Amino acid sequence: MRIVVQRVTKAKVEVDSKVTGEIKDGLMLLVSFTQNDDEKNIDWMVNKVLNLRIFDDENGVMNRSVLDVGGSILSISQFTLYADASKGNRPSYVKALNGDEAKELYEKFNEKLAQHIKVETGIFRAEMKVSLLNDGPVTIILEK
């Protein structure tokens, strides 16, 4: 499981010119799964995302989590995070988990996040337009 975490002041995702998810002040996540990912990976990642201290405290030190600041999450599925471009110029996506299994894990991941925080999403397998204002910029890659 691989996630690109971006601290944002705003983010939204559109499908067919309709907004399907939008947040202010929080985290935008690009989420991908690979073979052998399971619920243990999801649980670990949910805990990591929710408690990652990348928001400023009163002294301007990144010492607060998205929960601490009352933020939200925009979660976007993105199988291309497992692209392998080491050979040739056309990436291979064989390391990305197949669609049906990935969708099931993605939905579980979002459900577990939503038990603790407001979560907005894109649409799995849809052609999405994502826009965001990265705050910092702060971008972190998590992998389990």
Catalytic residue set: 78-80
What does residue 113 show for φ and ψ, rounded to 5 degrees? Answer: -60, -45
Distance between CA atoms of residues 95 and 108, nearest Å = 20
Cβ neighbours of 52 (radius 10 Å):
19
Work out whether strand 72-77 and strand 18-32 pair parallel, antiparallel, or are unpaired.
parallel
Contact 128, 122 (CB under 8 A): yes
Residue 61: enclosing H or E segment and its boundaries?
Answer: none
Q: 125: Cβ–Cβ under 8 A, 6 or more apart, which residues?
A: 77, 99, 103
For residue 122, give the nearest of 60, 79, 90, 86 by alpha carbon. 79
